[in-house]
Structure 1
Amino acid sequence: MDTVQELFGKSVLNNKGSTVPVSTLAGPDKIIGIYFHGNWCPPCVQFTKQLKTFYEKIKSTNKGDNFEIVAISCINDDDDDDKTQVDAMPWLFADQQTRTQIEAIARRFGVGSVPRLILLDGHTGQTITDCARKHVVDDPNAQNFPWRENTKKN
């Protein structure tokens, strides 16, 4: 089981490029979504729109106080299309500098395709659900969030 800092390092980035300490994501009752995506992927572009709506809705409720998403782009270049997509996303971004780091995180969670949304317990680092994308689509009003009935031990 990795801690949040072991996964992401000391900081992540917001969509303006400013650093955010990873320590602010960890703690009891905190939920962290890891969103694996790619700008080249039409399903990612479509799901990103759904996830943005979900994220903004949940952040406006008391459930959103302890919830944050960290996106991991499955490309590792300075593609302008990826920058455009990042600018449209209101959440945080992993500041992974190498393809090796990105691949290690993807392997850690068994990510074989994108888009993929995984929820972690911000205190223990354990996976709450590895199929959160399906839940976002099926439960857009977050009635059962964070969908713990699908808890899977790492």
Structure 2
Amino acid sequence: YSLDTGLVLTVCDITPASLVYANELILLFHNVTLGMAALKDILGDTLKNGRGEDVKTESLNGSDRVVGLYFSAHWCPPCRGFTPKLIEFYNNFKQTEKGENLEIVFISSDRDESSFVEYFDEMPWLALPFSDRDKKAQLTKKYKIGGIPSFILLDAETGAVITKKGRDGVMTDSEGKNFPWFPKPLKELLKGKFLKSATGGATTTDEELQGKVIGLYFSAHWVSVPGYLNMLKVYIMA
């Protein structure tokens, strides 16, 4: 996580065996997972606009820009209910001072291209070409899309996920006053004191953690799977 913005920078699966390679993990963290993921690496070189014309993905780049990935399909009733609300939000937000900072890309789960064309014709934004089914599958896996509609917001410069709850943002903040709905920074969530040991009673404060790389280790004494190594999620913050 970034302590300042609350954005997830990387999530690592750590096993006891992998701790042997701690130095390599630290090197990976600094040199790879914090590296910027260009939008064209995420979405491909070109997208489509409503007229069927190619649009360079690089045209969406920008330090203050946000790209929303809208996973949806015409056959999905909840999608058909949410899409008009998203269109209304998009059109209204585009009229504001920050309107140029937002673009949306439709990621279709339609069953055939004719359904995609009919559905996309309602939308005022861009779309991943329907023919690129491999890229659609990669995006679904990358962002762990378990159901639609799903609206994910990305930082256009770094490719980092700002929020996976864009749908909630549209429904609860229709004027976009808090757009792009950054999660609360961890430095706010981690205020207070922390134990240095379970028995000694010594503590440290959130102020002493500033400027450090911190791992949040989620575990419990009762966790044990015979015959398998326990998988531990470690969230890295900088």
TM-score (normalizing by structure 2): 0.60
User: Is 1:61 matched with 2:86?
Assistant: no
Asked whether the equivalents of residues 129 and 151 of structure 1 are also in contact (C-alpha less than 8 Å), the reply is no
1:90-145 Cα distance to aligned partner (Å, 9 max, x none): 00001252433211111100101100000000011000001100110010010100
Compute the displacement of 1:82 (Å): 3.0
- Measure, in 2, the Cα distance between the counterparts of 1:150 and 1:127: 14
- Cα distance in 2, alignment partners of residues 150 and 4 from structure 1: 25
SS at match of 1:149: coil
Equivalent residue for 1:123, pick from 157, 160, 169: 157
- Distance between the aligned counterparts of 2:53 and 2:97, measured in 1? 25
Q: How many pairs were matched up?
A: 153
Question: C-alpha displacement at 1:85, in angstroms?
Answer: 1.6
Q: For 1:127, give the aligned amino acid.
A: V
The residue number in structure 2 matching 1:142 is 176
Counterpart mapping for 1:2-151 below 5 A:
2-79=37-114, 81-149=115-183
Q: C-alpha separation between the residues in 2 aligned to 1:6 and 1:151? A: 27
SS class of match (2:183)? helix
1:151 shift after superposition: 7.3
How many angstroms does 1:76 deviate by?
5.0
**More displaced, 96-105 or 110-119?**
96-105
Letter in 2 for 1:51: L
CA contact 1:76–1:99 (8 Å) conserved in 2: no
Q: Against the structure 1 CA distance between its residues 86 and 14, is the aligned structure 2 distance closer, same or farther, given a 3 Å change threshold?
A: same
Q: Is the 8 A contact 1:25 1:32 kept in 2?
A: yes
Higher helix proportion (structure 1 or 2)? 1
* Larger-gyration structure (1/2): 2
Separation (CA, whole Å) in 2 of partners of 1:43 and 1:4? 28
Q: Which runs of 4+ in 1 moved over 4 A?
A: 150-154
Gaps of 5+ in 2: 1-32, 187-234
Q: Which runs of 5+ in 1 are unaligned?
A: none
Q: Bigger shift: 28-37 or 81-90? A: 81-90
Letter in 2 for 1:131: K
- AA at the equivalent of 1:84: E
Deviation string 1:55-105 (CA, Å, 9 cap, x unpaired) is 0000011111111000010135223x4322211100000125243321111
Residue 22 of structure 1, CA deviation: 0.7
2:125 aligned partner, one-letter code: W
Q: Percent identity?
A: 35
